Structure 1
Amino acid sequence: MFRRTPRVFAATLAVAALALGACAEKTAETPAPSGSPTAAAFPVTVGDLTLEQRPERIVSLSPTGTEMLFAIGAGPQVTAVDDQSNFPADAPKTDLSGYQPNAEAIAGKEPDLVVLANDTNKIVDQLTALKIPVYLTPAAQTLDDSYRQLTELGTLTGNTDAAADVVQRMKDDIAKIVAEVPQRVQAPTYFHELGPELYTATSKTFIGSVYTLAGLENIADAADADGKSAGYPQLSQEVIVEANPDFVFLSDVTCCQQSAATVKARSGWSSINAVRNDQIVELDDDIASRWGPRVVDLLRTIVEATAKVSE
């Protein structure tokens, strides 16, 4: 997923109905799973895409795709990533844009596979015309979507076993974390902030489903009951104050310099439970907007931050 300015970011999500995409707990980079690619498994087919040989020059224009590729052990096959792919640190970052992809610039990297998150400017048709294979992997709507994308990338890159290991580890870790969620008489409420303009996400989105796993209740659900905001409504200060959330989660820390201090300084917010009880959680912007293996870290952060609330 990509980070954008709050207005463009949220508006794009609402139009596309896609679920997204550094000052919270920093996550250690997890070594890639063991297991080497094998050329013997080729050719392979995923959807309409068939690869005759194992790709050795992969270009990823999706930060989530980049994280997935490295997690499944395909990092050595990745030769270029977009300007927003900053994890892992050794990913071969370039000035290629995933927002405004340029077919000629991409072709200049001589890729034998391009991983995209969206089809901006009909880039898929352009690359296909240049006989460059493309795997289009839109933002996941559910955890199952993330598992499927990891599995498909494993197939396409010859890292099938390693991808299966990553998926199973994610499932096991998530199950363990969910099992540790306290049993409560009433679920704590929360507001998840995408940007200081107060765009947020409902329970119907990917990020909202993660909070549901953590046993929390979303104050934004009522604001998009008719679905017109595609799960990403903009709330007013008055609505948030009246809803009085127990927690405020900030995913606009790095992009927009928001913090517990800036939230506490907002006019009228001093009466909110989250402010009064010092329950404002600063998330890592990237982890809170990319639906790859680090979703486990996001869920763990949310559960740990809310564990002290028993009722």
Structure 2
Amino acid sequence: MSARRVPLLLLPLVALLVLASCADRAPSPATPSSAAGGDAFPVELRPEGAPPVTIDRRPERIVSLSPSTTETLFAVGAGEQVVAVDSASTYPPEAPKTSLSGLNLDPEAIAGYNPDLVIVESDLESKLADALAKTGVTTLVLPAPKSLDAAYEQFALVGKATGHRAEGEDLARRTREEIGKLVADTPKPDERLSYYHELDPSLYSATSATFIGQVYGLFGLTNIADQGDPEALGGYPQLSAERILRADPDLIFLADSKCCGQNADTVAARPGWDTLSAVRHDRVFALNDDIASRWSPRLVELVRTVAEAVAPRASR
């Protein structure tokens, strides 16, 4: 999760000089103000929580080092412009997956793909942007959004950055509407339900102050991880088994089913967990880890899963 990032190592000066001198990409031809698809360039982007960026011409060689953004690039129709994605970008299947890392950023390895635009989730002290700028490559930082509205804004921004403005705006609108309809159509339980969202078997969780917590908040669920302060520990506290047993959540959502093989049976086998209401009443839900941790258009699938978990608890 984003709460546990590996610091970016500083590259020796000589490496940066070699990187700058060895770039042999031919200069891109001048692009008219109206690019493919009727999108005008240059465009200025102001992503929330990141430095503003100006993209002079429609990017034709994009490297994505953010799994969420990789999904969005393909969703807005920019897939053919993507030449490389990081090792964690598992969707869509046709994405050109490589050994690049979005955590340990390597300017030389990234430059080897001859990009004209690189998209990352985080760039500590702009080290990557500064290094790639020496070769004329633009770096766009798109941090994890703090709200659903911020996620929708990123969809539109990715479209604007890649020459697919209309598609990005349409994706944002459709995702917002689909999620809104799912929430509106879900019967409301007679009593407020509590839940536990598990990130890994060591009992790390996400509070209601996080992006994932806001999804559950759409259905009025109470997060047992809040413990009086949803902002504590960056919103990703490690709970104790005693705390979870004491809270006795009505619903349990497992975002560690793919990575760690967790499911209703493994949860029930934990000491004392067979006494939990969620276990006894078959209310343990295994999520797709990737969908549950990304702010991509597949958010709709996560919201649908939560809606299906909540609906049976309402009176008909």
Q: Same fold (TM over 0.5)?
A: yes
Q: 2:227 is paired with a residue of what secondary structure?
A: helix
| 1:51 matches 2:51 | no
Q: Is the 8 A contact 1:10 1:194 kept in 2?
A: no
Deviation at 1:288, TM superposition (A): 0.2
Larger RCO: 1 or 2 (CA < 8 Å, sep 6+) = 1
| 1:85 matches 2:84 | no
Deviation at 1:129, TM superposition (A): 3.0
Q: 2:176 is paired with a residue of what secondary structure?
A: helix
Match of 1:295 among 282, 295, 299: 299
Q: State the partner residue of 2:75.
A: 71
Query: Which amino acid is 2:166 matched to?
Result: D
Q: Is the 8 A contact 1:10 1:199 kept in 2?
A: no
Q: Which has the larger radius of gyration?
A: 2
Match runs of 1:243-262 below 5 Å: 243-262=247-266
Q: Is the 8 A contact 1:59 1:78 kept in 2?
A: yes
**Cα distance between partner residues in 2 of 1:271 and 1:237:** 12
Q: State the partner residue of 2:27.
A: none
Match of 1:149 among 154, 179, 189: 154
Deviation at 1:199, TM superposition (A): 0.7
Provide the aligned length of Structure 1 versus Structure 2. 282
Q: State the partner residue of 1:280.
A: 284
Q: 1:41 is paired with a residue of what secondary structure?
A: coil
Match of 2:192 among 158, 165, 187: 187
Q: State the partner residue of 1:198.
A: 203
**Cα distance between partner residues in 2 of 1:96 and 1:237:** 36
Deviation at 1:217, TM superposition (A): 1.3
Q: State the partner residue of 1:100.
A: 104
Q: State the partner residue of 2:24.
A: none
Runs of at least 4 residues off by over 2 Å: 9-13, 36-40, 128-131
Q: Is the 8 A contact 1:224 1:233 kept in 2?
A: no
Deviation at 1:185, TM superposition (A): 2.8
Q: Is the 8 A contact 2:74 2:92 kept in 1?
A: yes
TM-score between the two structures when normalised by the length of structure 1: 0.86
| 1:131 matches 2:130 | no
Deviation per residue, 1:246-305 (Å, 9 max, x gap): 111000011112111110000011110011011110000000000011111100111112
Give unpaired runs (5+ residues) of structure 1.
Answer: 4-8, 16-35
Q: How many percent of aligned residue pairs carry the same amino acid?
A: 48
Deviation per residue, 1:42-85 (Å, 9 max, x gap): 12111332222110000000000100100111111111111111
CA RMSD in angstroms, aligned pairs only: 1.9
Deviation per residue, 1:79-118 (Å, 9 max, x gap): 1111111111100111111111110010010101001011
Q: Is the 8 A contact 2:195 2:221 kept in 1?
A: yes
Query: Which amino acid is 1:38 matched to?
Result: G
Q: State the partner residue of 2:177.
A: 172
Match of 2:218 among 213, 216, 223: 213
Q: 1:114 is paired with a residue of what secondary structure?
A: strand
Deviation at 1:224, TM superposition (A): 3.5
| 1:112 matches 2:109 | no
| 1:228 matches 2:232 | yes
**Cα distance between partner residues in 2 of 1:75 and 1:192:** 32
Over 3 Å counting, the alpha-carbon distance change for 1:37 and 1:297 in structure 2 is farther
**Cα distance between partner residues in 2 of 1:258 and 1:73:** 35
Query: Which amino acid is 2:42 matched to?
Result: P
